[in-house]
Amino acid sequence: MAYDGPFTIEPKVSEFLSLDPAIFIDGDRVASEGSATLPVYDPSSGRVIADAVDATAGDVDRAVRSADAAFRDGRWRHMRPADRERILLKFADLVLEKGETFAQLETLEQGKSIAISRMFEVGASSEWMRYVAGLSTKISGRTFDTSLPGGPQHWTTYTRREAIGVVAGIAPWNFPILIALWKVMPALATGCSVVLKPSEVTPLTALLLAQTAIEAGVPAGVFNVVTGGGAVAGVALTNHPLIAKISFTGSTATGKAIGQTAISNMTRVTLELGGKNPAIVLKDADLATVIPGLMAGGFLNGGQVCAAASRVYVEAPLYDDLVGALTAAINGMTVGAGLDPAAQVNPLVSAAHQAKVLSYLDDAKAQGANIVSGAAVPEEGYFIQPTLVLEPGDNLKLTREEVFGPVLGITKVADAEEAVARANDSSLGLGASLWTRDLGSAMTLISRIEAGTVWVNSHVYIDPNMPFGGFKQSGIGRDFGIDWLDAYTELKSVCIAH
């Protein structure tokens, strides 16, 4: 298979695309025990650029057993933390060194702008990798005093954190490298082994990541990859009795199914699920900040961002100016394939996802919503025009469900009270933003917003040191931050009489 589009790609990328489909077990690319493959499409043309293995339950079992053997023999978890840290820093260096290959591959299979691939999938990834690598040497427990019976007997009591075992990382397709690393890196930093399953839509870069980890010195078997669909490979992985923890990012529906499996097996689980993220614009907000902020918050990566702004609630005096400025902005966007670095509107990830986003717009039209379409898009490829939906109404599907496309609903509200009530009227609670020049109003409203992250005068900024995760049905647990590794360890209390 190959890319035959109009842009020049690196020879290394062409070579990678032409490799026989494989999964990654015990430090190497290996063939599946079955023969099923999944086509990988270039979203800008709809043409197939590669085939990936659609892993069987037997493949998954092989990968998990390899990871389990690597965990049990201690080759990684009993390594000096400083050595693990050094290897993981090297891993980050190599991802940067191969950055253009990673970026082009990601743009080819995902459709996103090459600029976003370079900045986030490679640049941000390397920063997250270094942050987590550094946590390898910070794992610690506590000593504590107890009230156990005294006398001649003395007690020393403390906790230690121990690597949890084999981690299943289930990744989505919107940021295939970055989000995969959010699962793989904390697992590796604690001394766990990991089996990563990327989305069936974007399976390629995970395989290159695993290869790169080996080159950095991660022992064979510690980081395995199975590609394939959710129904077979995903289910086999999350149900496998040797999996100690699942880290999942994806839809709320799949997250709930995985959560139920996890509870029945007592597998530890972190779920980062969808969002329906409000942006509240108060009447004193500075539109010169709000407009670029909402354009980035709503349209970055085609809106295929779990924390993307999707419901804007604006106080009445600013409504007309805001709608006018956003309309001009979406009309001024340049359109093109992800490999065109100037194009701001790129295709969505797949034909199925394009159809899903269009179905929300069709429903809104049928319900009489006022739709403002931006820059025109080509017929070939999975493009969607950047779109505003004015006064969508609280019960429209598009207001209640995650659309995950370049679509912003804009609603006029009387005051901040109404904005907060409508913003909180959602089963999801991942992120939210407040736009105001009055820090006093912001400080009062922050605590009333039901979301895992509240941004003020910005939206969608994330950082390795800032915990991230959802309230309500947006998930369970938090990623990032100094306590991130807790979710990849068991806490053991030790009680010594002496």
Among 172, 278, 297, 429, binds ligand TXE (CB under 6 A): 172
Q: Are 315 and 419 in contact (CB under 8 A)?
A: yes
The answer to the question of residue 251 lying near ligand TXE (CB under 6 A) is: yes
Place of tokens 């805001």: 322
243-249: strand order across its sheet: 28-30, 23-25, 223-225, 193-197, 166-170, 243-249, 268-272, 475-476
Q: Are 120 and 470 in contact (CB under 8 A)?
A: no
| Cβ nearer to ligand TXE, comparing 98 with 183 | 183
| Cβ nearer to ligand TXE, comparing 222 with 226 | 226
The answer to the question of residue 478 lying near ligand TXE (CB under 6 A) is: no
Among 114, 194, 273, 326, binds ligand TXE (CB under 6 A): 273
Q: What is the CA radius of gyration of the chain?
A: 24
Site string for ligand TXE, 353-372 (x = CB under 6 A): x--x----------------
Q: Among 109, 200, 272, 401, which one carries the catalytic annotation?
A: 272
Among 402, 435, 451, 455, binds ligand TXE (CB under 6 A): 402
Helices (H) and strands (E) in the chain, counts: 16, 22
Q: Are 322 and 287 in contact (CB under 8 A)?
A: yes
Binders in 189-208 for ligand TXE, by CB under 6 A: 197, 199-200
Asked about 272 being catalytic, the answer comes back as yes
Closest CA to 124 of 202, 179, 184: 179
Site string for ligand TXE, 66-85 (x = CB under 6 A): --------------------
| CA angle centred on 219, ends 214 and 221, rounded to 5° | 95
What b-and-e string marks burial along 407-422, b requiring 16 or more CB atoms within 10 Å of the CB? Answer: bbbbbbbeebebbbeb
Binders in 298-317 for ligand TXE, by CB under 6 A: 306
Q: Among 85, 109, 306, 401, which one carries the catalytic annotation?
A: 306
The one-letter code for the residue type at 483 is D
Among 229, 393, 467, 477, binds ligand TXE (CB under 6 A): 229
| Cβ nearer to ligand TXE, comparing 359 with 370 | 359
The answer to the question of residue 234 lying near ligand TXE (CB under 6 A) is: yes
The one-letter code for the residue type at 342 is A
Asked about 192 being catalytic, the answer comes back as no
Q: C-beta of 401: minimal distance to ligand TXE in Å? A: 8
Tokens representing residue 71 in the block: 């965990």
Closest CA to 348 of 2, 39, 4, 43: 43
* 188 secondary structure, DSSP code: H
Binding site for ligand TXE (CB under 6 A): 170-174, 197, 199-200, 229-230, 234-235, 238, 249-251, 254, 257-258, 272-274, 306, 353, 356, 402, 404
By annotation, the residues acting in catalysis are 272, 306
